[in-house]
Amino acid sequence: MNATPRRVEHLQTDKGSVPVYTTAVIEQPWSSYSATDHAVWAQLFRRQRELLVGRAEDEFLRTQDAMGMGEERIPKFDDLNRMLRARTGWELVGVEGLLPELTFFEHLAHRRFPVTWWIRRPEQLDYLSEPDLFHDLFGHVPLLMNPVFADYMQAYGQGGVRAHGFGPEALAQLTRLYWYTVEFGLIRTAAGLRIYGAGILSSKGESIYCLESAAPNRLGFELERIMRTRYRIDTYQKTYFVIDSYEALMEATRPDFAPIYARLAGQPTIPAGEVLDSDRVFHRGTGEGWSKDGDV
Ligand code: PHE
Ligand code: CO
């Protein structure tokens, strides 16, 4: 463990803003959070909770409550860890910022979820270019309490360690899968389309846009299609992929990816906004809900 946690953020250089990577695992310096830090948490928490009723998947909101996340103060990793360990065997580890890919995969493979210890500044409420404590805790942690999703995250980490041996193309394909599920996934529920991706859940604008805007595509989950689909990190997504359940996600990703990497090698990638003839498209119905092409 490191003695003094640092806040590792993008650096301004003559090449523009570049991400900085760190590997240290640190103790959450909870008593060093300022009143401003707690106020930023409170404001973001309140704002997102209001917005997410009826937009986020129900279990996500219920689990946040059950874990005792509230607007009063920044949660303590130790408190959350007691519940995580008991329920799914996951554990949060504090980090200073972005991790190198392999380090990140190895944490997940061992059921450790890296959480950035610091929270954004008041002037970064709506956007910052890397994960902070609010994104990681608010967005990612509740689903780690779901046994099926917990297994998916570990399997992903193990798959990532393996993918390293297959080279950069395989790694890019696996990263797209994470992006379009864990970060920007939508799920179909009896009540309609709901959000489960942490990148959306921690963003005010995208929480509304992903469900209400006519602009983006909402397509049925298709493993190899997703693995070929590029994405943008600096704007709202042009395409979201919809899963039917966490079980279905787990089943679809269970097969050995080695033959898939081999098959996809050298195939062209798909632009972020493109819709293919083979895609299953979700449309906003005349009533409240969403339906898929072919639904009656
Ligand atoms: N089944 C994948 C493999 O063989 C691992 C994986 C599981 C990847 C779940 C992503 C999600 O590599
Ligand atoms: Co994230």
Give me 225's structure tokens: 């299609």
Tell me: pLDDT of 1 over 70: no
Would you state the pLDDT for residue 16?
A: 82
Would you state the pLDDT for residue 4?
A: 80
Helix/strand/coil for 91: strand
| Atom 12 in ligand 1: residue holding the nearest Cα | 159
The pick from 149, 176, 247, 254 for probing ligand 1's pocket by mutation, whose C-beta has the most ligand atoms within 8 angstroms, reads 254
Give the closest ligand to the alpha carbon of residue 134.
2
Domain boundary assignment for the chain: 20-295
How far is the centre of ligand 1, averaged over its atoms, from the C-alpha of 165 (Å)? Answer: 14
Confidence of residue 119 (pLDDT cuts 50, 70, 90): very high
Q: Which fold has domain 20-295?
A: Phenylalanine Hydroxylase (1.10.800)
Would you state the pLDDT for residue 161?
A: 97
- The model's pLDDT over 37-57, given as tens digits with 9 standing for 90+, comes to 999 999 999 999 999 999 999
Give the closest ligand to the alpha carbon of residue 197.
2
Confidence of residue 3 (pLDDT cuts 50, 70, 90): low
C-alpha distances (whole Å) from 89 to each of 8, 37, 141, 145 are 28, 29, 13, 9
Region of 33 on the Ramachandran plot (φ > 0 left; ψ -120 to 50 alpha; else beta): beta
Would you state the pLDDT for residue 189?
A: 95
pTM of the predicted model as reported, rounded to 2 decimal places? 0.95
What is the DSSP code string of 131-177? --HIIIIIIIGGGGGSHHHHHHHHHHHHHHHHHGGG-HHHHHHHHHH
Residue ranges lining ligand 1, Cβ < 6 Å: 152, 155-156, 159, 162, 177, 253-257
Would you state the pLDDT for residue 15?
A: 76
The pick from 101, 171, 221, 253 for probing ligand 1's pocket by mutation, whose C-beta has the most ligand atoms within 8 angstroms, reads 253
Give the closest ligand to the alpha carbon of residue 114.
2
Report the C-alpha gap between 59 and 132 in whole angstroms. 23
- The phi and psi torsions of 228 (rounded to 5 degrees) equal -100, -5
Would you state the pLDDT for residue 284?
A: 87
- The model's pLDDT over 142-181, given as tens digits with 9 standing for 90+, comes to 999 999 999 999 999 999 999 999 999 999 999 999 999 9
- The model's pLDDT over 246-296, given as tens digits with 9 standing for 90+, comes to 999 999 999 999 999 999 998 999 999 999 999 999 998 776 678 888 775
Would you state the pLDDT for residue 140?
A: 98
Torsion angle of C-alpha atoms 133, 102, 265, 179, degrees rounded to 10: -10
Cβ–Cβ under 8 Å, residues 156 and 173: no
Would you state the pLDDT for residue 256?
A: 97
